[in-house]
A and B are shown apart, each in its own frame.
Chain A
Amino acid sequence: EVQLVESGEGLVQPGGSLRLSCAASGFTFSSYSMHWVRQAPGKGLEHVSAISYNGGSTYYVDSVKGRFTISRDNSKNTLSLQMGSLRPEDMAVYYCAREAGRGSYFGNAFDIWGQGTMVTVSS
């Protein structure tokens, strides 16, 4: 079964750090670009970060540049998001998502999503 499972949920103080992980299974992870999308409580979806299938290209939305780092380990079928200098506005459910189409980067919709992991930023 094709599946993405996020982990790393936590409560952190403003200014703190947290690392999210996404474990992929059921498909050739190294062939697909991956994305993080977040959803603040009661709000819509926001694209946060992306990494190409081979890790050679990355993208960050302006609001997280310099604070978040996306990475992947294709030998372990794992996607990560290292989050630093967290702000209250970063509080959200974070989803990892697979971009459809082998080798595509920003060219396709997201065909597989995880169940999400909650990040709470509060003092």
Chain B
Amino acid sequence: DIQMTQSPSTLSASVGDRVTITCRASQSISSWLAWYQQKPGKGPNLLIYKASSLESGVPSRFSGSGSGTEFTLTISSLQPDDFATYYCQHYNSYSLTFGGGTKVEIK
């Protein structure tokens, strides 16, 4: 199975900061990667699919990049509503694996 490793596991940042989260795959997954945001007590919300495509309705301050084994999620200017946990996910195979998550906390 393909393993997905996210870093960091926790990130402390301030409103207005540029934030970058990394996700690494144990083998090449082309661009079959999604990013989700999850807030406490809620189901995840799709932000990015196919590594860099922004889901409809998601603010443009979110962007994704990468291919192969290394991917990044960037928030260009962190807003109060963005403090949450973020997960990457490999799809397009029968091994639909998630990264361990990155919690973005208020500094």
Contact = CB atoms under 8 A, between A and B. Distances in A.
Interface of A: 35, 44-47, 50, 59, 95, 97, 100, 106-111, 113-116
Q: Is the interface of B mostly helix, strand, loop or mixed?
A: loop
B85 to A, nearest CB: 9
Contact of B46 (A47, A50, A107, A110): A110
B98 interface: yes
Contact of B43 (A44, A97, A106): A97
Contacts, number: 58
A106 B32 CA distance: 11
Contact of B91 (A45, A59, A107): A107
Contacts of B42: 115-116
Interface residues of B, number: 24
Given A44-B87, A45-B87, A109 B46 contact: yes
Interface string B65-99: 00000000000000000000001010111101111
Given A109-B89, A109-B91, A110-B36, 15 more contacts: A35-B96, A45-B36, A45-B101, A47-B97, A59-B94, A100-B46, A107-B91, A107-B92, A109-B50, A110-B89, A111-B49, A113-B45, A114-B43, A115-B43, A116-B43
